[in-house]
Amino acid sequence: MSNHSSAMEFCLLGFPGSQELHHILFAIFFLFYSVTIMGNTIIIVIICVDKHLHSPMYFFLGHLSAVEMLATSIIVPMMLWGLLLHEMQTVSLTACVTQLFLYLALGTTEFALLGVMAVDHYVAVCNPLRYNTIMNSHTCISVVIGSWVFGFLCEIWPVYATFQFTFRKSNVLDHFYCDRGQLLKLSCGDTLFTEFVLFLMAVFIVVGSLVPTIVSYIYITSTILKIPTASGRRKAFSTCASHLTFVVIGYGSCLFLFVKPKQTQAAEYNKIVSLLIIVLTPLLNPFIFTLRNDKVKEALRDGVKRCCQLLKD
């Protein structure tokens, strides 16, 4: 790729403002990142340890938490380091390619997992008697492996196409990470066709995982409304509430950032939406799936009690 690009490194402008403001932002984002890592790690640990959570629903949730943790770790540590620097942050071409690929691949994997989780909820609510037969261990493992492989294979061409352009205009990216839109803005060639193909691929990925989610929830809603008792309806809906909340937040923010014909959006717009996706959404994930899930809360309480008992002993 370096043979096609005159820039061997890029400079990240990061956030505007004084050094004092940067230190405040560092403290805020470091706190958010720490809570994100700790919260998602706790979810993964209790799912692995507590036998009551050894079911397809929590198996998928564990992988979703792992994806969230990895995706935010691709961007945030570099962003935090940039806030501490007194000069402009530089990143090599290889590091830029790697960061963009891993971030997009993990994002695509997350969309695939969200679609899988929606279908899992559909089977649990609409076909409870056949749930264990349909969502057996072989099916769950195959689907998760497929989601990871799909995510990484799907983003090879988009990243390759992005770095096929020459970057002779400048090597300064007005962002806190190697954003695809800002990279295309720096390129010298005509990016219109590439941007259109990238737009179609983004539509395919997002809509492709959103359609089964919407269809699943249409059937789920129809089934829940047929339950005669209010307590039964509430219990059935609570099974899906956490996933539905995460879907609305995740898809809503990503639609604004990636599914647009013009990839070279204003830098300020990209930074704000990127912060929502990279910092806020992973931070909310542990709270959404713990505060709204009785089984996870119970497992968490049991884990705290065991730890307290061990400390006393």
CATH class of 9-303: mainly alpha
As a whole number, the mean pLDDT across the chain is 84
Q: Which two tokens stand for residue 126?
A: 């609409």
Indicate the pLDDT class of residue 313, thresholds 50, 70 and 90.
low
Indicate if the pLDDT at residue 105 is higher than 60. Answer: yes
Q: Over the stretch 64-74, which tens digit does the pLDDT of each residue have?
A: 999 999 999 99
Q: pLDDT band for position 289 (50/70/90)?
A: confident
The predicted-structure confidence for 237-254, as pLDDT tens digits, reads as follows 776 777 777 787 777 766
Domain coordinates in residue numbering, the chain: 9-303
Q: Is the pLDDT of residue 305 over 80?
A: no
- Check residues 189 and 20 and name the one with the higher pLDDT: 20
pLDDT, residue 143, reads: 95
Contact partners, residue 97, CB within 8 Å, separation at least 6: 1, 159, 163, 178
The rounded percent of the chain whose pLDDT value lies above 90 is: 34
Band (2; pLDDT cuts 50, 70, 90)? very low
State the Cα–Cα distance between residues 2 and 96, nearest whole angstrom: 12
Average pLDDT over residues 215-242: 81
Instruction: Check residue 237 and give its pLDDT.
Output: 75
